[in-house]
Amino acid sequence: MATKKQPPATGVAPSPSHINTNQKVEALETFRADATNQALTTNQGVKIADNQNTLRAGERGPSLLEDFIMREKITHFDHERIPERIVHARGSAAHGVFKVYESQAELTKAAFLQDPSKETPVYVRFSTVQGSRGSADTVRDVRGFAVKFYTEEGNFDLVGNNMPVFFIQDAIKFPDFVHAVKPEPHNEMPQGASAHDTFWDFVSLVPESAHMVLWTMSDRAIPRSLRTMEGFGIHTFRFVNAQGKGRFVKFHWRPTIGSASLLWDEAQKLAGKDSDFHRRDLWEAIDNGDYPEWELGVQIVEEEDEHKFDFDLLDPTKIIPEELVPLKMIGKLTLNRNPDNFFAETEQVAFCPGHIVPGLDFTNDPLLQGRLFSYTDTQISRLGGPNFHEIPINRPLAPLHNGQRDAMHRQTIDKGQASYEPNSIDGGWPKETAPAAAGGGFESYTERVEGSKIRVRSPSFKDHYSQATLFWNSMTDPEKDHIVGAYSFELSKVERKPIRERQLGILANIDETLAARVAENLGLPAPKKNADADELGKSSVTESPALSIIAKAKPSVKTRKVAILAAPGADAASIKAAQDALKAEGAHAKVISPTLGSPAQGIEADATILGMPSIMFDGVIVAGGKDSAKTLSESGDARHFVLEAFKHLKAIGAIGDGEDVLAAAHLPSGEEGVAVGSDAKTVLKSFIEAMSKHRVWSRAQKAESVPA
């Protein structure tokens, strides 16, 4: 078993450069409360002598209105729930730090991107989009990836997703899109999924969605864990340096352990077996000291190159292929502390794209422009007024002083008479700060804007298919199979035939082979590409390996989870050998048995076969031992466990008599990624090598026939 690492007391990975930062954070975070050895009190600090009984008139008499303790407790309980987010309602989050690798002064004057010895505290929230707070983690959906940087110049919120594009080009269509993708209003179904008529009706009528829908039908929409997701800022932003020079910038987050996804069958089963699968994985990883890490990458475009591409930089349905603008890695994000309280932190955290600091600025992306209004407006409604910035998780570490006063939930007690600027009564304070290279006030980037006041979309936004084709061409064969399967599954749930036919027409404009394969599964004729589709635009890049998860997979077993199947009578030496070998590679092993107890001398089962099925693991090892193998071979649940792992293309190992269990399950012999033998060391070496590739893709066709 892997030894749990104890995180530092501050919740931040130790480093000499971070001591001052931690002390500063702790000094400011006086709102954190630890009730250890403390008396029970009311919200006014009055100690409570009896928390078991309401004040009443006589032992069996009526309760009295004067019981202020009961009234305060019940009133607070009645109001514990706040309106959930309209989108991104189901989320998980963690604290961490960000460090820049080297000064980015040439690109931006943002203070948190200057000093590689300084760590900036962050809070990161991951989420699904469509479902409610009670929906499942592993549904097919876009995932939110929002980062709040508590910089010395104020809070910067990078509010993005795990996909680099979006469904629409203009924010005015956002309510329409959300209404379409949400559960249908007449029956509130389906929850947490997009396989229904209203979603596909909308996207089949809005061709600009084609690129993003293709991403959503790909493996990107069913990540293996939150720790293996990429993240993107989606929009084109601006960097501005101390000399006032601006450059366009796209933000990317790349997980250091690489990206990985579930198979659709796994995702569906996990939604029922463990609806908290992603949330639990993130929490346990941090709790175990396997701190999730992402590198922050940027794509930089000089202003004079704005119009040199065959797409518009301001179009949020487009990417900048890395073949045209390489990614530059500038820093690392590490999540190292779980929240103390889910509601107070994860549920109340408020992200707004308009929260930026000097050195950053916006572009005229029409979707971004709408988000700048929408997010703040939403937080005011959801969190009970304009003082949501005073909630502890949202408070900047930088001091804040202005003339804004009152409103609901005001917590700051402002001194002085003047709540306006300029003033002479309070000495003129607080005063404006002139823009400067460092420490100065925010100054909006100077951009020349002219034109008529019109409701028109730029002709440069009209190409809806070329980048979708680029994405399709960049996929490996297994990924293409998964996309075909996803479209086939989703569209088979659509009740109206004309909607299915319209969507097939869009697929034909992306790739006729894709459309034909999906059409065959739906029992419909294969459509042809619209003759006008190519006239709208073509991509100068025809294939980009960076868009494929499989093509750029990093061989590693670090932090991955392995089930060691063992029943009473198992060989303790084989179990211990597996545990030690996996621990040495940074993986985690759990002993899974038909029942809890001790399957071998000195070994305790961590869970049962039914309690933790194979879908929760990245690989399976069957321990040696004749009695154990006999029990497992006779168990339908155990046979299903290994067959299901085979079907999901996972590495499988069997030591000694453990091979009998594979034979009893009629698992195909001699297959790649299945390591067997009497020598534990040899078996484990082959097993770890196979698992490092995440899946054994060569088994895909044969696995389809496995009845698991």
Place of tokens 């749930």: 493
Burial class (CB in 10 A: 0-12, 13-18, 19+), 671: middle
Pairing state between β 231-232 and 246-255:
antiparallel
Question: What is the pLDDT at residue 16?
Answer: 38
CATH number for 91-394 (one of 3.55.40.20, 2.40.180.10, 3.30.565.10, 1.10.260.40): it is: 2.40.180.10
Interval 220-226 mean pLDDT? 98
371 is in an annotated binding site: yes
**Spatial contact of 529 and 519, defined as CB atoms under 8 Å apart:** no
**Spatial contact of 163 and 468, defined as CB atoms under 8 Å apart:** no
Nearest Cα neighbor of 599 from 641, 630, 620, 637 is 630
- Render pLDDT for 189-207 as a digit per residue (tens, 0 to 9): 999 999 999 999 999 999 9
Nearest Cα neighbor of 402 from 414, 392, 411, 393 is 414
Question: What is the pLDDT at residue 70?
Answer: 86
Q: Which of 22, 161, 336, 338 is catalytic?
A: 161
pLDDT band (50, 70, 90) for residue 23? low
Question: What is the pLDDT at residue 139?
Answer: 98
In this predicted structure, the answer to whether residue 265 has a pLDDT above a threshold of 70 is yes
State whether the Cα torsion 434-438-441-443 is positive or negative.
positive
Q: How far is CA 82 from CA 77, 89, 383, in A?
A: 11, 11, 7
Every domain range in the chain assigned CATH 3.40.50.880: 561-705
For every residue of 497-527, DSSP letters joined together read: HHHHHHHHHHHHHH-HHHHHHHHHHHT-PPP
Q: Of all residues in the chain, what percent carry a pLDDT higher than 90?
A: 75
For every residue of 23-61, DSSP letters joined together read: HHHHHH-TT----TT---B-TTS-B-S-SS---BSSTTS
- Render pLDDT for 94-117 as a digit per residue (tens, 0 to 9): 999 999 999 999 999 999 999 999
Q: Which of 18, 88, 278, 464 is catalytic?
A: 88
Place of tokens 């530059």: 328
CA distance 335 to 227: 10
Q: Of all residues in the chain, what percent carry a pLDDT higher than 70?
A: 95
CATH class in words for 561-705: alpha beta
Question: What is the pLDDT at residue 440?
Answer: 77
CA distance 659 to 627: 13
**Spatial contact of 375 and 144, defined as CB atoms under 8 Å apart:** no
pLDDT band (50, 70, 90) for residue 436? low
Question: What is the pLDDT at residue 330?
Answer: 98
In this predicted structure, the answer to whether residue 5 has a pLDDT above a threshold of 60 is no
pTM of this prediction? 0.92
487 is in an annotated binding site: no
In this predicted structure, the answer to whether residue 14 has a pLDDT above a threshold of 50 is no
**Spatial contact of 269 and 640, defined as CB atoms under 8 Å apart:** no
CA distance 500 to 196: 11
Second-level CATH architecture of 464-547 = Up-down Bundle (1.20)
CA distance 358 to 487: 44
Count the neighbouring beta carbons within 10 Å of the beta carbon of residue 366.
21
**Spatial contact of 31 and 131, defined as CB atoms under 8 Å apart:** no
| Side-chain-facing half-sphere of 655: CA atoms under 13 Å | 29
Interval 140-147 mean pLDDT? 98
Is 694 designated active site?
no
Nearest Cα neighbor of 655 from 687, 682, 678 is 678
> Which residues on adjacent β-strands are paired with residue 582?
none
Question: What is the pLDDT at residue 26?
Answer: 58
Interval 449-468 mean pLDDT? 90
CA–centroid distance for 600 within its chain: 39
Pairing state between β 91-100 and 588-593:
unpaired
In this predicted structure, the answer to whether residue 520 has a pLDDT above a threshold of 90 is yes
125 is in an annotated binding site: yes
Question: What is the pLDDT at residue 33?
Answer: 77
Pairing state between β 651-655 and 674-677:
parallel
Lowest mean pLDDT among 208-212, 370-374, 581-585, 674-678: 370-374
In this predicted structure, the answer to whether residue 7 has a pLDDT above a threshold of 50 is no
For every residue of 640-652, DSSP letters joined together read: HHHHHHHHTT-EE
Interval 472-501 mean pLDDT? 98
Question: What is the pLDDT at residue 24?
Answer: 58
Interval 280-305 mean pLDDT? 98
Interval 330-338 mean pLDDT? 98
In sequence order, which residues have a C-beta less than 8 Å from that of residue 622 and are 6 or more positions away? 564, 565, 566, 629, 632, 642, 652, 653, 654, 655, 658, 659, 661, 662
Is 402 designated active site?
no
Pairing state between β 143-151 and 154-161:
antiparallel
State whether the Cα torsion 123-126-132-135 is positive or negative.
negative
In this predicted structure, the answer to whether residue 48 has a pLDDT above a threshold of 50 is yes
Where does 534-640 show beta strands of DSSP type E?
A: 561-565, 588-593, 607-608, 619-622
Interval 117-122 mean pLDDT? 97
Every domain range in the chain assigned CATH 2.40.180.10: 91-394
pLDDT band (50, 70, 90) for residue 28? low
410 is in an annotated binding site: no
**Spatial contact of 350 and 379, defined as CB atoms under 8 Å apart:** yes
279 is in an annotated binding site: no
Every domain range in the chain assigned CATH 1.20.1370.20: 464-547
Question: What is the pLDDT at residue 2?
Answer: 43
32 is in an annotated binding site: no
| Mean pLDDT computed over every residue of the chain | 92
In this predicted structure, the answer to whether residue 367 has a pLDDT above a threshold of 50 is yes
